[in-house]
Amino acid sequence: MKRVLLFVLALTFAGSALADNGMWLPSEIHKRIDDMQAKGLRLTAEDIYSINQASLKDASVHFNGGCSAELISDNGLLITNHHCGYRWIQEHSSVEHDYLKDGFWAMNIEDELPNKNIFVRFLIRMEDVTEIVLKGYDTSMTESQRDSLIETNSAPLIEAASKEGAGYSASVKPLYYGNQYFIWVFQTFTDVRLVGAPPSSIGKFGGDTDNWMWPRHTGDFALFRIYADKDNNPAAYSEDNVPYKPKKYFKLSIKERNEGDFTFVYGYPGRTQEYVHSEAVRYISEISNPHKRNLRTKRLEVQEKYMSQSQKVRIQYSSKNSSVSNAWKKWLGEMNGIRKLKAYQEKKAYEQAFHNWAADKPEYGEVIPMLDKLYAELEPYAFATDYYNESIRANEIIRFAENICTAFSQNRSKDHFDQLIETYFKDYFLPIDKESFLLLLAEYDKNVPQNLRPAYFATQMTALGSTDAWVEHIFATSALTTEESTRAFVEKALSAENYWDVLSADPAILFSNEFRQHYLNEINKPYTEINRQITLLYRAYMKGQMEFTPEFPFFPDANSTLRVAYGHIKGYSPADGIFFKPVSTIEGIMEKDNPDIFDYNIPQELRDIYARKDYGKWGVNGTIPVCFIATNHTSGGNSGSPVIDADGNLIGINFDRVWEGTMSDIVFDPDLCRNISLDIRFALFIIDKLAGAQRILDEIEIVE
């Protein structure tokens, strides 16, 4: 019987027990080091993570809370993905200085550009504090009492850790659905300046067409620098700040590498659901992803129509378009992968085996039936939540209205409103917003059941006759359609005795508020309560799984904390008769090059360099490697992560996954799941031959 159960588990996790699967805690890496060394690693656990000496964790950073990055010099030079730095490249761009189109290189340190609202965080240490956090807990407590106890016990830990150094902060986070708790202590730097970025035709080569695909030929990198005060401590931007001196930085290897070579990724994966229940998997693949993709398809078509007609609109909407498109394409690969692997059916089989095992165990006996029941109750509220986010709040004028109301409720200053308005209209194009709104509201009307809509919806439809007429009315009468009218409207509300009397007269604000209140009271409340019950059951389910199959190498789901994932450079076969090699080269760029298509129109200088084969020491066997794939288990948030060789040298920058393997957040398939990385040799080639930025190369240590 046990062999059968283990076989079911192995199927459920797609053979992960034998594969390069897992996102391991750095402080626990000593438990995996034998396996890593057996697969090729030539470092020790202390080299990877240490609180007693400089280690690779000190060269890896969390980039603005959503990406990863790494130090590559003793002067605070940082490399991450072009798409991670895209927002700040865009903010510095204009029609006169289009750094998105032309690239940017600071040829001296004075030219490095300061950025607003950007930060990097170093992990100082992490520690298992489960015993401390749960001290005083007993099973007679309610969940609310347990949460209160955890908060009380965590507070002194967080307070003490935050006082350990300048710019320190800490948080206590649960793992394994609350079966374990860790404290993470960070140091945060907020003076981070743009140093260099290739043109988007290199950094975003292939655009949305190539996104999530292999082979890939995208030079997805950008350079920033961390600045500190004279004592090397975090400080707000100042001309007196100096480049940060890190404890550790990566050397860049340009050595030859081959299929089968060991690699590991050290970054901040955002969120995975490896142990999620089958009904959650079914909802994702059969309901949520198809509906959300449909809504985003409509937005993308409108954006791309207008972006193709105007350089100004293209700049304004480049970042927005990329954000919408990224998830749109990922969702398709994810649902196809789930279906191909029969993940829902395999999880159902595992759950049945677990339920049979738990029949005589009161702690676990009703876990599976209760999860089935709760997911059935959750589904309509999850669906309404998806539509609220993707068809209501997805409209820019509605999000703007919400932001204005929030600012008023927080008694923000006039200066704050001025900045809010200026930032919004800098990248706003009304025809895109209006045309999208017409399409999205019609889809809401078509798909959301009557009992999940606000009463306000029916009232307005009766008054105006159709969703199209409703949207036309909003754009014809709202003050939030132009910068000038918005400023006058806000000033009137600021001077009014009751600002809501003014705000509520605007149809965009009324729309936003009515839908938001309905969502918070009628959708989010039951959604949150059911999810709370599900999470509580997952705690028991997770604990039970570990008892059910103790031989399985469990790892905690990603939660935006530092993780190690290891594997090998390796090709794959996505379908019968097809095999993808693990490396792409500059020849692939030239094959795709097309001056008539924005995303494939490379700089003329690159064409000239290719014609001369002027690759310098970055070339190998008459070409330039561009990207490579490996079996490292990555997720969103790993963008920008260092990809490291067996000796601890940087060989690549992680930036994507292959489309056929995007279901790896839920189920990892060793045959299909591959992470895509930029080969560091291509980045160095661009810095040298295209940018001519020798001063950047001079501060980087190369391993030849």
- Residues classed as catalytic: 83, 220, 639
Coil, strand or helix: which one is 455?
helix
Angstrom distance (rounded) from CA 687 to CA 624: 14
Chain position carrying tokens 């949520």: 288
Angstrom distance (rounded) from CA 318 to CA 392: 21
644: β partners: 264, 650
Are the C-beta atoms of residues 513 and 504 closer than 8 Å to each other? Answer: yes
Contacts with 620 (C-beta within 8 Å, 6 or more apart), sequence order: 256, 681
Question: Between helices 414-426 and 483-495, what is the axis angle to 10°?
Answer: 160
Q: Quote the DSSP letter at residue 556.
A: P
Angstrom distance (rounded) from CA 414 to CA 129: 44
Nearest to 298 by CA among 210, 212, 430, 390: 390
Segment (H or E) for 625? strand 625-630
Output phi, psi for 624, to 5 deg. Answer: -125, 120
CA atoms within 13 A on the CB side of 496: 14
Are the C-beta atoms of residues 93 and 426 closer than 8 Å to each other? Answer: no
Q: How many CB atoms lie within 10 A of CB 502?
A: 20
Segment (H or E) for 675? strand 675-679
Nearest to 645 by CA among 84, 320, 264: 264
Coil, strand or helix: which one is 642?
strand
Angstrom distance (rounded) from CA 317 to CA 304: 9
SS3 of 283-298: the string is HHHHHHHHHHHHHHHH
Q: How many CB atoms lie within 10 A of CB 422?
A: 11
Write out the DSSP string of 79-140. Answer: EE-HHHHHHHHHHT--SSS-HHHH-EE-SSGGGPEE-SS--EEEEEEEEE-HHHHTTT--TT
How far, rounded to the nearest angstrom, does the alpha carbon of residue 47 sit from its chain's CA centroid? 27
Nearest to 400 by CA among 314, 301, 486: 486
Write out the DSSP string of 306-329. Answer: HHTT-HHHHHHHHHHHHHHHHHHH
Coil, strand or helix: which one is 209?
helix
Are the C-beta atoms of residues 679 and 626 closer than 8 Å to each other? Answer: yes
Q: How far is CA 140 from CA 136, 269, 474, 538, 563, in A?
A: 11, 35, 54, 18, 35
Output phi, psi for 261, to 5 deg. Answer: -65, 145
